[in-house]
Amino acid sequence: MCFCCFIQMDDIDAMFSDLLGEMDLLTQSLGEETPPPASLPSSNQEVNFSIGFTDLNESLNELEDNDLDALMADLVADLNATEEKLAAEIQGLKEPSLPASDLTPASSATSPLPPPQSTKPSKVTKPCEEIEAQMKADKIKLALEKLKEAKVKKLVVKVLMNDGSSKTLMVDERQTVREVLDNLFEKTHCDCNVDWSLCETNPELQLERAFEDHENLVEPLLAWTRDSENKVLFKERQEKYEVFKNPQNFYLWKKDKKALKDIKDKDKELLIQENFCGTSIIVPDLEGVLYLKEDGKKSWKQRLFQLRASGIYYVPKGKTKSSRDLVCFVQFDNVNVYYGQDFRSKYKAPTDFCFVLKHPQIQKESQYIKYLCCDDARAMNLWVTGIRIAKYGVSLYDNFKTAEKKAAVSAVWTNRSTPSSSNASTPSPTIKGRTHRFLQT
């Protein structure tokens, strides 16, 4: 596990001040005709970017010296490379190559000059004014591109292991969870199986969910509040892609358990092809009685719910299960699904098998959070997986195929590099620790 905290970005941004200052001087020197680049965020805007951040000194003190040195070295190297590239491109613009017609061969230096044929200026050579104007436009474009790159939000993530060691990552807003997982695989040397996940937990709401591999990691982390105690976990979750390992448990769930267990691999593949590889995704036909927590109360009432591609619906009391009588309970467009933790104690839930639907921006108790409770773990996993299929569609299958390829490549390299007489492989590490994040723009 790892704990993520936000901090003010003033000191981190100071490392980029020289580069940004040179860009400002460059754009100011281009004349009054030059459109000014977009202004950097003011101190008030910085507060918006840093919502949920804790004190800088406290977080820096918690970083070990070797991690901080390595991080600073990476940042300085990136900064130097950017400055060198910028200087080289500007120097190239200042020294335009002369046209071939303007170059005089050395062998003809002593020959008499031909008589002038015309007093008109050459059409091949551009006037100096046009060259300067082009250089000015190129400089403006280059400066704006560098400013845009510098504004990309980045988080410095430190993960502490069970043995007390730590790993430090830098994640920017363009990186997906899959890319971050691959980075962690390289640093931890774990087995890269498809069950590895990045998860978030919310201790205040007692919720947990696994990030989907196609999500951008920075976006949900920025939704955390200033005083958040949320955590990020790097761990294995068998239910992550269980639907692609045993699709019969989700699409044929009404059948006898023994029959589901004896299904052949080719039949499993057919189920996947039918439900995920057609013109549209087919959502499991789920329905059943669930317990619904009443708003603002610790009481639960039973309702008959049905899963559809657009959301969850329920049958009102005294009505039939026909489509015209169904009432929409929640749609999936703007909500995520979470597993509840110890709801029996917190909310007096009938069982321990609860899940929640809420908007990712909601970080504290709210009337807009939907609480549901199932009779057993199997029913809970059926509903949570069904909701993920309805919400993410073919992206889930694409994520699984990518993870499967990564695991296969990792297994090949492991077999090649491991002698046949080697000892039994060590188990994959479980990551646990705190994560420190520095927002940069």
DSSP assignment string, 348-416: --SSSEEEEEE-TT--S--TT-EEEEESSHHHHHHHHHHHHHHHHTHHHHHHHHHHHHHHHHHHHHHHH
How many angstroms separate the CA atoms of 135 and 138, rounded?
A: 5
Q: Is the dihedral of CA 47, 50, 53, 58 positive or negative?
A: negative
Task: Report pLDDT digits (tens) over 106-147.
Answer: 444 444 555 555 555 554 455 788 888 888 888 888 877 776
Say how far apart CA 395 and CA 80 lie, in whole Å. 38
Decide if 100 contacts 125 (C-beta within 8 A). no
In tens, the pLDDT along 240-287 reads 999 999 999 999 999 888 888 889 999 999 999 999 998 899 999 999
pLDDT tens-digit map of 337-387: 999 999 999 999 999 999 999 999 999 999 999 999 999 999 999 999 999
| Domain 283-392, CATH class in plain words | mainly beta
Q: Is the pLDDT at 64 greater than 80, yes or no?
A: no
Residue 34 pLDDT: 43
Q: Which residues contact 24 (CB under 8 A, 6 or more apart)?
A: 37
Q: Which residue did the predictor score with more confidence, 50 or 160?
A: 160
pTM strictly above 0.85: no
CA distance 250 to 378: 10
Q: Which secondary structure element, helix H or strand E, spans residue 328, and what is its range? A: strand 327-331
Tell me the C-alpha distance between 291 and 295, whole Å. Answer: 13
Q: What gap in Å lies between CA 329 and CA 291, rounded to an integer? A: 13
Q: Can you list the positions of beta strands (E) in 30-133?
A: 53-54
- Domain spans, the chain: 283-392
Give the model's pLDDT for residue 140: 81
Question: Does 83 or 164 have the greater pLDDT score?
Answer: 83
